Amino acid sequence: MYTHHKFKVERTAHYHTIGEANPEVTRLIIACHGQGQRSQYFIRRFDVLDDGKTFVIAPEALSRYYLKSFGGEVGASWMTSAERLDEIADYANYLQQLLEHYRPLVNEQVKITLLGFSQGGATIFRWAMEKFPAVDRFILFASMLPEDLDYRPYQEYFDTKKITWLYGTSDQFLNDQRLAFNRSVFKKNNIQYEEKTFDGKHEVRRDVLQELFADQV
């Protein structure tokens, strides 16, 4: 007979940035990648926002795996169904520490956006429900709002955030049924949001990012 145990260990997290964290920065973006991606490639799309006043952080998920067989290209994942609550707690602690490290280094009036693409979208909202980070905006990019969470007790927190749900009209992972279900999750939890689309697939496009942040300098 065996017994399951667990204890906390220290991990080394990796992330990539664009820009320089200094008092001139008035726009801070934490961008979480999707399933199987790596931050070093994901962050390249954000180069169009490199204007001297923007600092972009792309954290990489703590779990890595080979995308095919037993070698070759490596991807990263924020969580799986195995011990999922522990994985959520671990990445929430990681992302919160990352935010708290850089927040004092930038302008006091900085606007902070959490952007999550695909699996990263659920990641930023699960982080929010664990730590309630002091941010200004959430962007759910080609993703679904986690439906297993009850956001209603924290409506005051979400009411003070700008929440944008964005997806491509040809996204192969978001059919009409899934889109309708996601709208129902927003409605059930009384979360106010704006829904935006672009002509494209399950992808992060530079022109879309430019449009997303055109109203924020």
* Residue 88 structure tokens: 């959520």
Asked, for residue 1, whether it belongs to a domain, the answer is: no
CB 48 within 8 A of CB 77: no
Return the structure tokens found at 161.
């955030």
188 falls within a domain: yes
Q: Which of 143, 149, 127 is nearest to 193 (CA)?
A: 143
Let me know if residue 30 belongs to a domain. yes
Token digits for 157?
């927190």
63-66 and 162-168 strand pairing: unpaired
Residue 198 lies in a domain: yes
Q: What is the pLDDT of residue 165?
A: 98
Look up residue 100 and give its two tokens.
């708290």
Q: Is 3 part of a structural domain of the chain?
A: no
| Tens-digit pLDDT profile for residues 20-49 | 999 999 999 999 999 999 999 999 999 999
The answer to whether position 5 is within a domain reads no
Strand partners, 28: 55, 112
**Other CB atoms within 10 A of residue 170 CB:** 13
3-state secondary structure of 100: helix
Query: Can you tell me the distance from the alpha carbon of 199 to that of 192, in angstroms, rounded to the nearest whole number?
Result: 24
State which residues form the domain around 158: 15-212
User: Is residue 175 in a domain?
Assistant: yes
How many independent structural domains does the chain possess?
1
Are 22 and 105 spatial neighbours (Cβ–Cβ below 8 Å)?
yes
Exposed / middle / buried, residue 200 (Cβ in 10 Å: 0-12, 13-18, 19+): middle
CATH number at residue 165: 3.40.50.1820
Please give the full DSSP string across 10-50, using - where no structure is assigned: -----EEEES--STT--EEEEEE--TTB-HHHHGGGGGGG-
User: What is the Cα–Cα distance from 89 to 84, expressed in whole angstroms?
Assistant: 9
pLDDT of res. 216: 60
* Residue at 205 is within a domain: yes
Q: Which of 49, 48, 46 is nearest to 59 (CA)?
A: 46
> Both tokens of residue 96?
């919160």
Residue numbers of the chain with a pLDDT score lower than 50: none
